[in-house]
Amino acid sequence: MKNVNGQSDDVEKGLKQQYIQNSTYNNNENEAKTASTNELLNVESNSPSNSKSNSSSNNSVNFQLALRIVGSLAVIILASILIYFMDNFIYWIITICVALVTLLFITGIYRWLYIALITGPRDLIAVTRFIRLLLFIRKLGNKNISAAELFEQQVEKYPNKACLVFEDRSWSFKEINDLKNRIANVFLQHGFKHGDKVGLLMENRPEFVAIWLGLSKIGIVIPLINCNLKKQSLLHSITIGDCKALIFGESLTESVSEIKNNCHQIFQVPRDPPSASTYKKPGHHDQLVFIYTSGTTGLPKAAVISHNRYIYIAAAIHIVADFKDNDVYYSPLPLYHTACGCMSVGQMIIFGSTVVLRKKFSASAYFSDCAKYKATVAQYIGEMCRYCLSTPGQQTDTSHNLRLIFGNGLRPQIWPQFVKRFNIPRVAEFYGATEGNANIVNVDNTVGAIGFVSRILPQVYPISIIKADPETGEPIRNSKGLCQACKPNEPGVFIGKITANPSRSFLGYVDKKASEKKVIRDVFRKGDSAFLSGDILIADEKGNLFFVDRTGDTFRWKGENCSTSEIEAQVSNEAGYRDCVVYGVEIPQVEGRAGMAAIVDPESTLDLRELGENLKKCLPSYARPQFIRILERIDMTGTCKLKKVDLQKDGFNPNLISDRLFFLNLKSSNYEPLTAEIYEKILSQEIRF
């Protein structure tokens, strides 16, 4: 099958032969295969059987190597003898060429040359852009420039140009700058100083950007708090951010009032700004914002983003994905996320581009908005692409001016249909963790790829995929105590090597203990270190990287990383402190994993209606379990940890599970019995989540 750009759609081959079909599709559709983590992570273990197979495999490899060496020597000796007895120069040349070609095939070098030949253009483009990026970042670093100063440079260049567009109103660079200065003056008057933390809790709107720019101008660090959080999660985010004050939008007054008595100081910004005051200018490597991520376990963690890191992320996607300064960007994603708040808004701050914001994503309005605002670049997450495909066709599907879209999570299974229906010339799929030090981008439109690692010069960009335990994500080390790099088409955990280069440093979280858990040491040599992403990736023979799954206690749903331990705590509390485990389960043809809670209720006294109502109050919509399983008991480990691996494998199929199952009916917001009939409707997408 070919995609719209004429490229071979060999995603399934590239992802791995161990893929298994675990989804049901209509007969008239193309069969798509999704990766099962446990199947894909067919890594080494300490079991005798595996040891024997590994030993046998190693012996086979050693035999092949020895055979190649002997064959090469034989060819060299034979060629030397022929040349010695020949007196014709042409025969010499022919013999040498034949010998060289034979050597290439015997030694396997020909395969490397073939890969180098077909991937060379891609690598050359990426390396050239990467060098431009490093020079750009170095220049700004030498000037010790901050994000606010970069924005002020754009204000001088384009004072009346549209800076942000929101709900049919255009805000010029000068207007945003004026509001930015007002904010800075207000907080100076209230005694705030360089290094203080002021939380920002607000829905999407231009003031969001102006507020954090104003605060950053005077060196205040801004924790950007998820506006969907409530009660304990919200209070926790404010607390770990060490917020001296909280700025919140009027629409979130109720959420703030629930935790107000536990906060030190909360106020809304006055309208009238005082006169300007002196302040300590922030440096290029000072902290800029905290962006919250659920990480692999626990409540939300505050990832540290410095001015340098913010600029690097925004500039990297701009240069490597080949954005233009005069592009118009459309992003309906939340401003508290790195994706929109840094990657899209960063184009405005650093390069003077126009960014169109939307309060919330709308599938039916996505491409009509792009056409309306003449956007040339649009941002997405995988869920959004699926939602757009499910909408009825309209004229604006193809009448837009988009030259590319960028984002993360566009699944290979819907990639060709999406770009064909909506006439998308190029997709810049990227990958990167907010707190991480390794970002990669698809630069050549390879279907399903999230980036690549060079097979010619892998040392240019220090990233790797290492073998890891399928359940814990912990690296599997060799006899020397070092990590083992995965071979082509072998899944493993993605890492970014930590070096002295500021762009490769790992800033981690505010919580230093949590940061340390994301760092592994003695990776490929004693004393080195790397950021452990917790994501399972796979690289094909050409170096194209494909996302497989997440390890640990996190699953992704509705574009959000959901921490199972946090959800378990909330569900257990609302269920009368019953034992509970939460995990993600796959729904065929749906991105991510839906939350499922298994609750111990042997006496059948749990009121599911009340549980549903309480969870709606204390959890964001994306974190609420979509399925409930009622258990008689839950097995525990020797360390009193609840086991969930077998439950996750069972999924939510009532034909295989004897326990009572329930699903969240989005229309009634209640948990209702999950029967075999309902299950079939979910598979056929008559019932959607």
3-class secondary structure per residue, 548-562: EEECCCEEEECCEEE
**CA distance to 115, 447, 636, per residue, from 121 (Å):** 11, 17, 53
**What is the per-residue pLDDT across 302-342, written as a single tens digit (0 to 9) for each?**
999 999 999 999 999 999 999 999 999 999 999 998 999 99
Beta bridge partners of 408: 381
Under 8 Å between Cβ of 304 and 562: no
Beta bridge partners of 290: 223, 304
Tell me: pLDDT of 170 over 50.
yes
- What residue ranges do the domains of the chain occupy? 48-107, 554-683
Q: What number is the average pLDDT over the span 384-399?
A: 87
pLDDT for 564 equals: 75
Residue 536 binned pLDDT confidence (cut-offs 50, 70, 90) = confident
Under 8 Å between Cβ of 498 and 506: yes
In one-letter notation, the amino acid at residue 101 is V
Query: Alpha-carbon distance 689 to 584, whole Å?
Result: 14
Under 8 Å between Cβ of 501 and 138: no
Greatest pairwise CA separation for the chain in angstroms: 99
In one-letter notation, the amino acid at residue 650 is D
Lowest mean pLDDT among 188-197, 256-265, 285-294, 387-396: 256-265
Query: Alpha-carbon distance 147 to 151, whole Å?
Result: 6
pLDDT for 390 equals: 80
Query: Alpha-carbon distance 274 to 517, whole Å?
Result: 45
Strand ranges inside 370-443, DSSP E: 377-381, 404-408, 427-431, 440-441
Compute the C-alpha angle 602/603/606, nearest 5°.
95
Residue 590 binned pLDDT confidence (cut-offs 50, 70, 90) = confident
Q: In whole angstroms, what separates CA 378 from the centre of its chain?
A: 17
pLDDT for 92 equals: 58
Stated as kind and residue range, the H or E segment containing 494 is: strand 492-497
Residue 93 binned pLDDT confidence (cut-offs 50, 70, 90) = low
Residue 26 binned pLDDT confidence (cut-offs 50, 70, 90) = very low
Lowest mean pLDDT among 125-129, 380-384, 472-476, 615-619: 380-384
Tell me: pLDDT of 200 over 90.
yes
Percent of the chain exceeding pLDDT 90 equals 48
CATH architecture of 554-683: 2-Layer Sandwich (3.30)
Q: CB atoms < 10 A from the CB of 51, how many? A: 12
Q: What number is the average pLDDT over the span 450-478?
A: 85
DSSP 20: B
Percent of the chain exceeding pLDDT 70 equals 78
Highest-scoring range by mean pLDDT, 198-207, 462-471, 500-509:
198-207
Query: Alpha-carbon distance 469 to 471, whole Å?
Result: 6
Tell me: pLDDT of 51 over 50.
no
Instruction: Using alpha carbons, select from 436, 445, 482 the residue that is nearest to residue 463.
Output: 436
The string of DSSP letters for 561-574 reads: EEEHHHHHHHHHHH
Q: What number is the average pLDDT over the span 414-420?
A: 91
Beta bridge partners of 493: 466, 536
Q: What is the dihedral of CA 210, 212, 215, 216, to 10 degrees?
A: -110
Tell me: pLDDT of 15 over 60.
no
Q: What number is the average pLDDT over the span 62-85?
A: 59
pLDDT for 53 equals: 40
Tell me: pLDDT of 19 over 70.
no
Instruction: Using alpha carbons, select from 335, 391, 105, 104 the residue that is nearest to residue 203.
Output: 335
Under 8 Å between Cβ of 450 and 408: yes
Residue the block writes with tokens 């540290």: 304
More confident residue, 670 or 113: 670
Residue 506 binned pLDDT confidence (cut-offs 50, 70, 90) = confident
Query: Alpha-carbon distance 371 to 681, whole Å?
Result: 35
Lowest mean pLDDT among 337-346, 547-556, 663-672: 547-556
Q: CB atoms < 10 A from the CB of 674, how many? A: 21
Highest-scoring range by mean pLDDT, 14-18, 148-152, 640-644:
148-152
Give the tokens for residue 565.
Answer: 């331990």
Tell me: pLDDT of 227 over 80.
yes
Beta bridge partners of 304: 290
Tell me: pLDDT of 586 over 80.
yes
Under 8 Å between Cβ of 221 and 287: yes
Give the tokens for residue 376.
Answer: 């040339």
Q: CB atoms < 10 A from the CB of 653, how many? A: 14
Tell me: pLDDT of 20 over 60.
no
Query: Alpha-carbon distance 333 to 377, whole Å?
Result: 14
Tell me: pLDDT of 640 over 80.
no
For the chain, the average pLDDT equals: 81
Beta bridge partners of 492: 537
pLDDT for 66 equals: 62
Under 8 Å between Cβ of 274 and 252: no
Stated as kind and residue range, the H or E segment containing 453 is: none
pLDDT for 101 equals: 63
Name the strands in the sheet holding 198-201, side by side, starting at the edge strand that comes first in the sequence.
245-248, 198-201, 222-224, 287-293, 301-306
pLDDT for 642 equals: 64
Query: Alpha-carbon distance 363 to 506, whole Å?
Result: 36
Under 8 Å between Cβ of 651 and 585: yes
pLDDT for 62 equals: 56
pLDDT for 36 equals: 33
Q: What number is the average pLDDT over the span 400-411?
A: 92
Q: Is the pTM of this model over 0.85?
A: no
More confident residue, 262 or 142: 142
Q: What number is the average pLDDT over the span 208-218?
A: 95
pLDDT for 273 equals: 44
Under 8 Å between Cβ of 110 and 104: yes
More confident residue, 14 or 364: 364
Tell me: pLDDT of 34 over 60.
no
| Spatial CB neighbours of 362, under 8 Å, sequence gap ≥ 6 | 332, 369
